[in-house]
């Protein structure tokens, strides 16, 4: 069996854009006609250029290879152009291709990927969602703790037992910083009012995006400890695991991080530094499924857990489900609400979601099929990137 063909899809995510402005999908096909799909997460270039990058890497290193030879393909791409370094762009490209290879391998074996990566550990996967806005909202749920507390009741009625929110202000190209007193007060009010609203029925996941210095994050954590969040997410920028460890040592709140890290090498440095108790690898950036499984194995040695990150499309979501299902140290899975809307439309069969949990698929491969007709009918025509940071210092 050899890989012969590739097709990429740059898909616009219609309003309300939950999961990002667009998704970059890939389909690769073998000489026997078996196809697999993958997705690249948040590569920091115009998405049609990213599609060309995926096609270029496929032509140079992947075409003609047996999709079963994951380790060989991985090393060839990881070393592309004399890199051999956790490069975010290249690893996003590799993640999409590796994911698609596993989809093919699973289809050939007639098994879900999790059955080929150690077997099934979990029958149901606990899930969480951000607290998202709704049409008709009179205020911004991201910055209004009263509305967020009201919205929390809706998510609890859907079975969610954990909710994430980030009221700590915009993230900037010039972070980390000290939060203003107003931002600290708002963050504390969010936790206080959400805890009052959900009681002990749901965990609170305090999301940040590297806004703070270690000293600033410790100031914030001291205010939040009384409300017992399950985690404080990426409190400092991702380039200094030693600084992340300062925060982890100074608070009783578990530190979670990893969406902007890639490969076992980044995560090994984080674990050695003691920088996080919860690893949030994104399968569309980290290096794919096998790399994520290796990271999960390393985390076991440090008694750390995994909570796969998702702010993209449902192909990465499907890969997250596979790795979560076969990992003993799985904690919780990020969902985009209940996987409805466009996240259902872009698949031929939706991800199964029941009472706040994802049910692992029994179909072979990743367990999902891209609806190519919907993908082609929704091309991305914008100019903005998937995610963008504030381009000036925040005071």
Classify residue 379: in a domain, yes or no: no
Domain termination site, one of 109, 134, 168: 109
Q: Are residues 83 and 149 in the same domain?
A: no
Q: Are residues 200 and 331 in the same domain?
A: yes
Domain termination site, one of 89, 109, 129: 109
Q: Are residues 249 and 157 in the same domain?
A: yes
What pLDDT is attached to residue 199? 97
Classify residue 43: in a domain, yes or no: yes
The string of pLDDT tens digits covering residues 313-330 is 999 999 999 999 999 999
Q: Are residues 104 and 69 in the same domain?
A: yes
What pLDDT is attached to residue 365? 98
Question: Whole-angstrom Cα distance, residue 76 to residue 94?
Answer: 10
Classify residue 382: in a domain, yes or no: no
Q: Are residues 204 and 312 in the same domain?
A: yes
Q: Where are the alpha helices (DSSP H) in 251-345?
A: 263-273, 289-301, 314-325, 342-345
Tell me the pLDDT of the chain (395 aa) as tens digits. Answer: 999 999 999 999 999 999 999 999 999 999 999 999 999 999 999 999 999 999 999 999 999 999 999 999 999 999 999 999 999 999 999 999 999 999 999 999 999 999 999 999 999 999 999 999 999 999 999 999 999 999 999 999 999 999 999 999 899 999 999 999 999 999 999 999 999 999 999 999 999 999 999 999 999 999 999 999 999 999 999 999 999 999 999 999 999 999 999 999 999 999 999 999 999 999 999 999 999 999 999 999 999 999 999 999 999 999 999 999 999 999 999 999 999 999 999 999 999 999 999 999 999 999 999 999 999 999 999 999 999 999 999 98
**Domain that includes residue 197, residue range:** 115-366
Catalytic (active-site) positions? 209, 309
Asked if residue 353 has a cis previous peptide bond (ω within 30° of 0), the answer is no
Q: Are residues 350 and 204 in the same domain?
A: yes
Question: Whole-angstrom Cα distance, residue 206 to residue 152?
Answer: 14
* Neighbouring residues of 326: CB distance < 8 A, sequence distance ≥ 6: 114, 115, 117, 118, 119, 120, 121, 293
What pLDDT is attached to residue 112? 98
Say what the pTM is: 0.97
Classify residue 173: in a domain, yes or no: yes
What pLDDT is attached to residue 395? 80
What pLDDT is attached to residue 56? 98
With H, G, I as helix, E, B as strand and everything else as coil, classify residue 177. strand
Domain count of the fold of the chain: 2
Indicate the pairing of strand 3-12 with strand 22-30: antiparallel
The continuous run of DSSP H or E covering 221 comes out as helix 214-224
Which CATH number fits the domain that encloses residue 258? 3.20.20.120
Q: Are residues 317 and 359 in the same domain?
A: yes
What pLDDT is attached to residue 272? 98
Q: Are residues 72 and 133 in the same domain?
A: no
Classify residue 385: in a domain, yes or no: no
Q: Are residues 232 and 148 in the same domain?
A: yes
What pLDDT is attached to residue 105? 98
Domain termination site, one of 91, 109, 127: 109
Indicate the pairing of strand 353-354 with strand 357-358: antiparallel
Which CATH number fits the domain that encloses residue 70? 3.30.390.10
Number of other residues whose CB lies within 10 A of the CB of residue 140: 11
- What share of the chain in percent tops pLDDT 70? 100
Q: Are residues 200 and 235 in the same domain?
A: yes
């Amino acid at each position: 069996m050899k890989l012969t063909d590739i097709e990429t899809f740059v898909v616009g995510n219609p309003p309300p854009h939950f999961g990002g402005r667009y998704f970059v999908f890939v389909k690769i096909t073998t000489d026997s006609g078996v196809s697999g799909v993958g997705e690249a997460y948040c590569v920091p270039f115009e998405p049609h250029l990213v599609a060309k990058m995926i096609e270029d890497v496929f032509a140079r290193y992947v075409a003609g290879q047996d999709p079963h030879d994951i380790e060989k393909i991985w090393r060839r791409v990881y070393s592309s152009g004399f890199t051999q370094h956790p490069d975010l762009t290249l690893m996003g490209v590799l993640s999409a291709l590796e994911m698609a290879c596993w989809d093919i391998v699973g289809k050939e074996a007639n098994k879900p990927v999790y059955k080929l990566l150690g077997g099934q550990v979990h029958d149901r996967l606990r899930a969480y969602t951000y607290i998202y806005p709704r049409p008709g909202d009179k205020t911004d749920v991201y910055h209004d703790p009263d509305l967020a507390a009201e919205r929390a009741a809706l998510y609890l009625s859907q079975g969610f037992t954990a909710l994430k929110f980030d009221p700590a202000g915009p993230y900037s190209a010039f972070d980390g910083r000290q939060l203003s007193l107003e931002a600290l007060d708002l963050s504390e009010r969010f936790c206080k009012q959400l805890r009052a609203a959900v009681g002990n029925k749901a965990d609170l996941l305090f999301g940040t995006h590297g806004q703070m210095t270690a000293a600033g994050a410790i100031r914030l954590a001291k205010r939040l400890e009384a409300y017992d969040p399950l985690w404080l997410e990426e409190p400092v920028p991702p380039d200094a695991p030693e600084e992340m460890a300062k925060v982890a040592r100074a608070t009783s709140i578990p530190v979670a991080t990893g969406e902007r890290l890639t490969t076992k090498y980044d995560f090994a440095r984080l674990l050695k530094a003691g920088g996080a108790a919860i690893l949030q690898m994104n399968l569309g950036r980290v290096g794919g499924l096998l790399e994520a499984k290796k990271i999960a194995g390393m985390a076991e040695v440090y008694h750390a857990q995994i909570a796969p990150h998702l702010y993209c499309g449902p192909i990465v979501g499907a890969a997250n489900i596979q790795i979560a299902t076969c990992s003993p140290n799985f904690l919780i899975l990020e969902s985009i609400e209940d996987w409805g809307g466009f996240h259902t439309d872009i698949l031929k069969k939706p991800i199964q979601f029941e009472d706040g949990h994802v049910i692992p698929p029994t179909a072979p491969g990743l367990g999902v099929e891209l609806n190519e007709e919907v993908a082609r009918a929704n091309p991305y025509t914008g100019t903005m990137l998937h995610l963008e940071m504030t381009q000036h210092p925040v005071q």
